[in-house]
Amino acid sequence: MPNKERLKDIKCFLFDMDGTINLGNTLIPGMDDFFAQLKAKGKTFYLVTNNSSKDHAHYVKKMANMGIEVMQKDVLISSDALTYYLGKVKPQAKLFVLGTPELRATITKAGFELVDPAVTEPEFVILGFDMTLAYNNLSTACRLIDKGVPYIATHPDVRCPIENGEFIPDCGAMIELIKTATGVSPLDVLGKPYHYMIDLLMERTGFTKNEIAMVGDRLSTDIAFGLNNHILSVLVLTGEATLEDVERGHIKPDIILDHAANLINYI
């Protein structure tokens, strides 16, 4: 079956945001009524992001400001993969977290305890995209890791895009910092392109991999996420990747579309 025909069998679409739905705080032209059309066709969708520095309410508000109405349950963040993972390996674990207040709140809401290492030895160090990173917290984390406390990173992105085509250091850059200081790599890295978000989604929804598709503009995260997890991968050309990148690279999407809204023509 040609890959575009496979879109008819997809029941759940996962969408990257920046570069796929919006560019910064601006909706990509043509996306304004797309999700209403998707719902009218009986399709489920999630907005999927690795950015663990923000919470679900942030993305709901951001989308609403661009005219897209979604609920918090429609947003899947690498922090969800983190709490899912911890719930499997160590429910109610005691944690030392390098993360924003939003990440910390997400973790505590899921039932995990954030501890002061001077008082209580944590069972894991958690590394998120910590835009509030303080040196004393970084040094505490490194000392704990040196002593053998395992650490988990929410996602591997090295750079986070911001306005005007610029970038700031992301969680993956902080992983390299800690690795340089301690010689230790994370016990696990969650988020795209790894399997934890798919595992969570399938458990939450009951959909099978044949019923799920990933739509995004980045080869190394979005498309690799689809390919690594054996779900249909759809590259859109409204963001980072170009046709030349696909031709030169080793990551080959199942489907290439000019625009995410073009999906409607195939479902």
Q: Which domains does the chain have, with CATH numbers?
A: 3-50+192-266 (3.40.50.1000), 88-189 (3.40.50.1000)
Residues 174-194 have a mean pLDDT of 97
Q: What is the mean pLDDT of the chain?
A: 95
Residues 21-26 have a mean pLDDT of 89
Q: Confirm if 166 and 203 have CB atoms less than 8 A apart.
A: no
Q: Confirm if 20 and 48 have CB atoms less than 8 A apart.
A: no
Digit-coded pLDDT (tens) for 37-73: 999 999 999 999 999 999 999 999 999 999 999 999 9
State the pLDDT at residue 161.
79
Backbone angles phi, psi at 260, to 5 degrees: -60, -35
Tell me: pLDDT of 84 over 70.
Answer: yes
Residues 21-45 have a mean pLDDT of 92
**Residue 134: both structure tokens together:** 């303080």
Q: For residue 91, how far is the Cα from the chain centroid?
A: 22
For the CA atoms of 56, 58, 62, 67, what is the dihedral angle to 10 degrees?
50
Q: Is the pTM of this model over 0.85?
A: yes
167 or 211, which is more confident? 211
Work out the number of other CB atoms within 10 angstroms of the CB of residue 138.
17
Q: For residue 52, how far is the Cα from the chain centroid?
A: 8
The model's confidence at residue 25, banded by pLDDT at 50, 70 and 90, is confident
Of 107-116, 163-172, 248-257, the least confident: 163-172
2 or 235, which is more confident? 235
